[in-house]
Chain A
Amino acid sequence: MAIKCGVFKTTYEEDSAIWQTKVSKFWIALLLIVLIAFPFVFQGSRYLLYVCNSVLIAVIAAIGLNILTGFTGQISLGHGAFMGVGAYASGYLMTHLGMPFIVCVVVAGCVTAIVGMIFGIPSLRLKGLYLAIATLAAQVILEFVFVRWRAVTGGSQGMLVPPAQIGGFAFDSDFKFYFLALAFTLMAVLIAKNIVRTKSGRAFMAIRDRYISAEIIGVPIFQYKLISFGISSFFAGVAGSLWAHYIGIITPEHFNVMISIQYLSMIIIGGLGSIYGSIMGAVFMTLLPEVLRLISGLFSNQYPILVNIFGAIREGIFGLVIILFLIFEPDGLAARWKTIQNYWKLWPFSY
Chain B
Amino acid sequence: MKQGRIREEVVMSGEEITLSFGGITALLYVNFAVQRGEIFSIIGPNGAGKSSLYNVINGFYKPQKGRVFFKETEITHLKPYQIARMGIARSFQNIELFKHMTVLENLMLGRHIHIRYGLFKSLFYFGPCLKEEVQHRKRVEDVIDFLEIEHIRKKHVGTLPYGLQKRVEMARALCLEPEILLLDEPMAGMNLEETEDMARFIIDVNSEWGMTVLLIEHDMGVVMDLSDRIMVLDFGEKIAEGTPGEIQQNALVAKAYLGESDGAFLGR
Contacting residue for A215 out of B81, B100, B172, CB 8 A: B81
Which of B4-12, B115-123, B198-206 interfaces with chain A?
A: B115-123
B133-A218 in contact (CB<8A): no
Q: A210-B97, A218-B176 are in contact. Are A203 and B109 (CB under 8 A)?
A: yes
Given contacts A13-B134, A212-B96, contact A217 B124 (CB under 8 A): no
The reply to whether the CB of A202 lies closer than 8 angstroms to some CB of chain B is: yes
Report whether B110 and A198 are in contact in the complex, using a CB–CB cutoff of 8 Å.
Answer: no
* Interchain CB contact under 8 A, B80 and A210: no
Within the assembled complex, what's the spacing in Å between the Cα atoms of A84 and B115?
A: 36
| One of A45-53, A154-162, A219-227, A237-245 contacting the partner | A219-227
Q: Is A163 an interface residue (CB 8 A)?
A: no
* Given known contacts A198-B129, A200-B119, A220-B79, A205 and B58 CB-to-CB distance under 8 angstroms: no
Q: Name B98's contact: one of A194, A205, A221, A227 (CB within 8 Å).
A: A205
A residues less than 8 Å from B67 (CB atoms): none
Chain A residues numbered 190-222 whose CB sits less than 8 Å from any CB in chain B: 191, 194-195, 197-203, 205-206, 208-210, 212-221
Could you tell me how many residues of chain B have their Cβ less than 8 Å away from some Cβ of chain A? 37
Residues of the A chain whose Cβ atoms lie less than 8 Å from the Cβ of B80: 215-216
Q: Is the CB of A213 within 8 A of B110?
A: no
Is A13's CB under 8 angstroms from B130's CB?
yes
Q: Does A302 reach chain B (CB closer than 8 Å)? A: no
The reply to whether A199 and B84 contact each other, CB–CB distance below 8 Å, is: no
Cβ-neighbour of B92 out of A202, A208, A213 (below 8 A)? A213
Q: Does A116 contact B (CB under 8 A)?
A: no
Distance in angstroms from A150 CB to nearest chain B CB is 37
A328 at interface by CB-CB < 8 Å: no
Write the nearest CB–CB distance from A158 to chain B, whole angstroms. 34
A interface size (C-beta, 8 A):
32
Q: Which residues of B contact A195 (CB under 8 A)?
A: 119, 122-123
Determine whether B162 belongs to the interface, using a CB cutoff of 8 Å to chain A: no
* Partner among A11, A200, A208, A217 whose Cβ is within 8 Å of the Cβ of B113: A217
Annotate B72-106 by CB proximity to A: 1 below 8 A, 0 otherwise.
00000001110011000110100011111100010
Q: Which of A13, A203, A206, A217 contacts B84 (CB 8 A)?
A: A217
Known: A13-B134, A203-B112, A218-B176. A210 touches B123 (CB 8 A): no
> CA–CA, A213 to B58, complex, Å?
11
Q: Are A221 and B81 in contact (CB-based, < 8 A)?
A: yes
B100 touching A198 by the CB < 8 A rule?
no
Check B97 against A213 for contact (C-beta < 8 Å). yes
Instruction: Give the Cβ gap from A223 to chain B, nearest Cβ, in Å.
Output: 9
* Residues in A neighbouring B84, C-beta threshold 8 A: 215-218
Inter-subunit contact A205/B101 (CB<8 Å): yes
- Closest Cβ–Cβ distance, residue A69 to chain B (whole Å): 14
Inter-chain contact A209/B101, CB cutoff 8 Å = yes
Interface core residue of A12, A13, A205 (most chain B CB under 10 Å): A12
**Interface status of A86 (Cβ within 8 A of chain B):** no
Cβ-defined contact, A220 with B98, below 8 A: no
B241 to A: closest C-beta gap in Å = 26
A211 to chain B, nearest CB (A): 10
Q: Taking A209-B99, A217-B109 as contacts, is the C-beta distance between A200 and B81 under 8 angstroms?
A: no
Bound CA–CA A216/B81 (angstroms): 6
Closest B residue to A201 by beta carbon equals: B122
Give Cα A226 to B129, complex, Å: 22
Interface presence of A273 (CB below 8 A): yes
Determine whether the beta carbon of B122 is less than 8 Å from that of A199: yes
Tell me if B119 and A194 are in contact (CB < 8 A).
Answer: no
- In the assembly, what is the distance between CA of A214 and CA of B122, in Å? 20
Instruction: Looking at the assembled complex, report how far the CB atom of A15 sits from the nearest CB atom of chain B, in whole angstroms.
Output: 8
**B108 on the interface (CB 8 Å rule)?**
yes
* 6 other A-B residue contacts (CB within 8 Å) besides A205-B98, A215-B79: A12-B134, A199-B115, A199-B119, A209-B99, A210-B97, A216-B84
Hey, which bits of chain A sit against chain B, CB under 8 A? 11-13, 15-16, 191, 194-195, 197-203, 205-206, 208-210, 212-221, 227, 273
20 contacts between A and B (CB under 8 A): A194-B129, A199-B112, A205-B101, A205-B105, A206-B98, A209-B98, A209-B99, A210-B99, A213-B96, A215-B79, A215-B80, A215-B84, A216-B90, A216-B92, A217-B84, A217-B113, A218-B112, A218-B176, A220-B79, A227-B119
